[in-house]
Amino acid sequence: MAKAMKIAIVDDEQDMRQSISQWLALSGFDTESFATAEDALKRIGPDYPGVVVSDVRMPGMDGIAFLKRLMSQDSAMPVIIITGHGDVPMAVEAMQLGAFDFLEKPFNPDKMTELAKRATQKRRLALDARALRRDLSGGTQIMDKLIGASPAMERLREDILDLGQADGHVLIDGETGTGKTLAAHALHAVGSRASKPFVLLQCGAYPDEVAGRELFEGEPDAGVLPLVEQARGGTLCLEDIEALSPAVQARLLTFINDQGTPAETRIVAVSNLQEQGKTCEDMLRPDLFYRLAAMRITLPPLRQRGEDILQLFTRFTEQFAEEYGCDAPQVGAQEAAQLLQAPWPGNVRQLINVAERAVLQSRRGSGTIASLLMAESETVEPVMTTEGKPLKEYVEAFERMLIDNTMRRHKGSIVAVMDELCLPRRTLNEKMAKYGLQRSDYL
C-alpha cells in the first residue's frame, strides 16, 4: 500500500492551523503544522512526500516569498495558497508563480479536502516518476559509464532516460569518439526492452551484399538466424548506418513499415558523418531517414564539456595506473588548463589514448602531458576549439579536480584532505558543497 502523503500547514494563526489540521486529519490525511514559513523550510525539502497549504499573509516571510522558495527547490511541489478577502491579486500572482490552487477565506472545508486529494495525487505521481528516473539512471552499469557533470552530459542522460521509455526508433549522431555506441547500449538498458536482445551490426565493416545478408537472410544452412530475427522484441543497433546501400536501405524501410506501431523490434541507428561535412540525412533515403530520426540524440563533443575533461582524465589515468601497477600522474594547474583548452578532435577516445600514454611515461619518469597533446595534434585533423574562458573557470575546474583527487586518494578522510591541502574544515566543506562533492561518494 502506498505511504500516505503528508500535508504541511503553514499559518501564523494557531486557531487556523488547528482547524485545517483537524479537518484534513478527519479526511484521512497526515498533517504537520508550522507557525512560520522559515520553520516549514527546515522540514520541507525537494523530495518532501506531500503538499503544502500556506496562508499568504504572514509575518517575516510571507506566502508569496515562501512559494518562490518552494518552487526554486522543487517546481513539482503542489502548494495551495489561502487568501483573505481582497487578496485576489496576490492569489493571481501565486498562480502565475506555480501555485497549485488557492482558497479564499472563509473557505468551504469540503473544497479544501477536494483540493488536498488532487494535490496529493499529483505529488505522488511526480515522486514516483522521479524515483523511477533515479532507479534507471543509477541502476545500470552502462549509465554509470556516461561520466560527467556538464550541462551537456546532464541533458544527454535525461534524453536517454526519456527516449528509453518510448517505443519509437532512434537516430544517434555526433563526432567520432564521443560514445555513440555506448549511448545506444544505455538507451536499451534503461528501457522496457532491457531483458530482450541487443544486437549490433557495424554496417561499414561488411561489403554491401554481406550486410544485407546478415540483416535479412542469415545463414540457414548453418542455423544462423538473420539479425532482424535475433533482435526480435529487443533492439537492433545499426552502427555506421550511412554505409548501407540504397537497396539494403529499401529492405530496412520495408521491415520497419511491416512492423507497424508500436514496433516489436526497435531500430537504433548510429551515424558518424557529422564531422565530415555531411549528415545522415544526406546519405539515407528520405523516407527511411524520417522514420529513424523521429527521435534523435546528438552526442556532445568533448571540447564542449568543460571540466568533464579533467574528471574523465583522472578516471582513466587511475584505471591505467592500476592496470600497469604504478601511481597515476599528478596533474598540475598548468597541465589542467592545457587539457581544458585542447580541441580534442578525437573526443573521449583520444582522451583515453592520452591518459594511457601519460601513465606509461609517468612510470618511466619522463615526458609531460603538454608533449602528448602536441604529438596528438600532429596526427589528427584540427577542428575549431571553443572560445577562451575566463581564468576563474579554469581555476575552479582545477580546484574541483584537486579536491576530488585528494578525497579519492584518502578514501574520504576529511582530516587527511585538510592536512594535505592546508584547508580549514569550514573552507573545505564550503568548496565541496560548491562543487557538488559529497564525502559519502569516497568512502
421-434: per-residue pLDDT in tens? Answer: 888 888 888 888 88
Per the structure block, which three cell numbers stand in for 243?
554505409
Instruction: Note the pLDDT tens digit of each residue in 189-240.
Output: 888 888 888 999 888 888 878 888 889 988 777 677 889 999 999 999 999 9
Among the listed residues 401, 416, 432, the one whose alpha carbon sits nearest the alpha carbon of residue 315: 401
Give yes or no for residue 372 having a pLDDT over 50.
yes
59/182 same-domain check? no
Report the pLDDT value the prediction gives residue 381, as an integer from 0 to 100: 42
Instruction: Note the pLDDT tens digit of each residue in 247-262.
Output: 999 999 999 999 888 8
Averaged pLDDT for residues 90-110: 87
Considering the chain, what is the average pLDDT of its residues? 84
What single letter denotes the amino acid at residue 401?
A: M
296/307 same-domain check? no
Distance CA 185, CA 172 (A): 11
DSSP H helices, 231-389, are 246-259, 280-283, 286-292, 308-324, 333-341, 347-364, 369-379
Report the pLDDT value the prediction gives residue 136, as an integer from 0 to 100: 55
Contact 136, 143 (CB under 8 A): yes
Before 246, cis peptide (omega within 30)? no
Among the listed residues 300, 191, 207, the one whose alpha carbon sits nearest the alpha carbon of residue 245: 207
Instruction: Note the pLDDT tens digit of each residue in 105-161.
Output: 888 888 999 999 989 988 887 787 676 666 555 555 677 778 888 889 989 999 998
Considering the domain boundaries, does residue 290 fall inside one? yes
| Strand order from edge to edge, sheet including 295-298 | 198-202, 235-239, 266-271, 170-173, 295-298
Among 106, 135, 164, the domain boundary falls at 135
pTM given for the model:
0.60
289/169 same-domain check? yes
Residues making up the chain, counted from first to last? 443
Report the pLDDT value the prediction gives residue 379, as an integer from 0 to 100: 46
Q: How confident is the model at residue 391 (pLDDT cuts 50, 70, 90)?
A: low
Averaged pLDDT for residues 12-38: 91
Q: Which residues, other chains included, contact 379 with Cβ-Cβ below 8 Å and sequence gap of 6+? A: none
Averaged pLDDT for residues 14-31: 91
Q: What CATH number is attached to the domain comprising 330?
A: 1.10.8.60
235/248 same-domain check? yes
Domain count of the fold of the chain: 4
407/369 same-domain check? no
Report the pLDDT value the prediction gives residue 376, as an integer from 0 to 100: 63
Q: Higher pLDDT residue, 176 or 385?
A: 176
Q: How confident is the model at residue 1 (pLDDT cuts 50, 70, 90)?
A: very low
Distance CA 351, CA 348 (A): 5
Distance CA 288, CA 300 (A): 24
Q: What percent of the chain has pLDDT over 90?
A: 35
Report the pLDDT value the prediction gives residue 380, as an integer from 0 to 100: 42
Grid-cell match 473557505, residue found? 107
67/35 same-domain check? yes
121/224 same-domain check? no
235/266 same-domain check? yes
Contact 274, 174 (CB under 8 A): yes
Q: How confident is the model at residue 290 (pLDDT cuts 50, 70, 90)?
A: very high
Considering the domain boundaries, does residue 211 fall inside one? yes
| Strand order from edge to edge, sheet including 30-34 | 30-34, 6-10, 50-55, 79-83, 101-104
Contact 225, 218 (CB under 8 A): yes
125/156 same-domain check? no
Q: What CATH number is attached to the domain comprising 62?
A: 3.40.50.2300
Grid-cell match 483573505, residue found? 84
Averaged pLDDT for residues 158-171: 90
Report the pLDDT value the prediction gives residue 288, as an integer from 0 to 100: 93
Range of the domain at 112: 6-135
Among the listed residues 69, 114, 120, 113, the one whose alpha carbon sits nearest the alpha carbon of residue 94: 69
Considering the domain boundaries, does residue 322 fall inside one? yes
Considering the domain boundaries, does residue 384 fall inside one? no
Considering the domain boundaries, does residue 144 fall inside one? no
Among 272, 300, 328, the domain boundary falls at 300
Averaged pLDDT for residues 376-385: 45
Please give the DSSP secondary-structure letter assigned to residue 177. T
Q: What CATH number is attached to the domain comprising 175?
A: 3.40.50.300
Report the pLDDT value the prediction gives residue 180, as an integer from 0 to 100: 93
Q: What percent of the chain has pLDDT over 70?
A: 90
What single letter denotes the amino acid at residue 242?
A: E
Considering the domain boundaries, does residue 140 fall inside one? no
> Does residue 10 sit in helix, strand or coil?
strand
DSSP H helices, 165-235, are 180-189, 208-216, 227-230
Contact 117, 7 (CB under 8 A): no
Considering the domain boundaries, does residue 145 fall inside one? no
Contact 297, 156 (CB under 8 A): yes
Beta strands (DSSP E) in 98-251 are: 101-104, 170-173, 198-202, 235-239
Averaged pLDDT for residues 345-349: 91
32/98 same-domain check? yes
Tally of helices (H runs) and strands (E runs) in the chain: 20, 10
Q: How confident is the model at residue 276 (pLDDT cuts 50, 70, 90)?
A: low
Among the listed residues 344, 343, 375, 369, the one whose alpha carbon sits nearest the alpha carbon of residue 356: 369
Q: How confident is the model at residue 313 (pLDDT cuts 50, 70, 90)?
A: very high
196/161 same-domain check? yes
Grid-cell match 591505467, residue found? 320
Considering the domain boundaries, does residue 147 fall inside one? no
Residue 411: which region, alpha, beta or left (left: phi > 0; alpha: psi -120 to 50)? Answer: left
Residue 14's CB is within 10 A of a number of other CB atoms, namely: 10
Contact 358, 317 (CB under 8 A): yes
Among 300, 335, 358, the domain boundary falls at 300
21/98 same-domain check? yes
Q: Which residues, other chains included, contact 353 with Cβ-Cβ below 8 Å and sequence gap of 6+? A: 346, 376
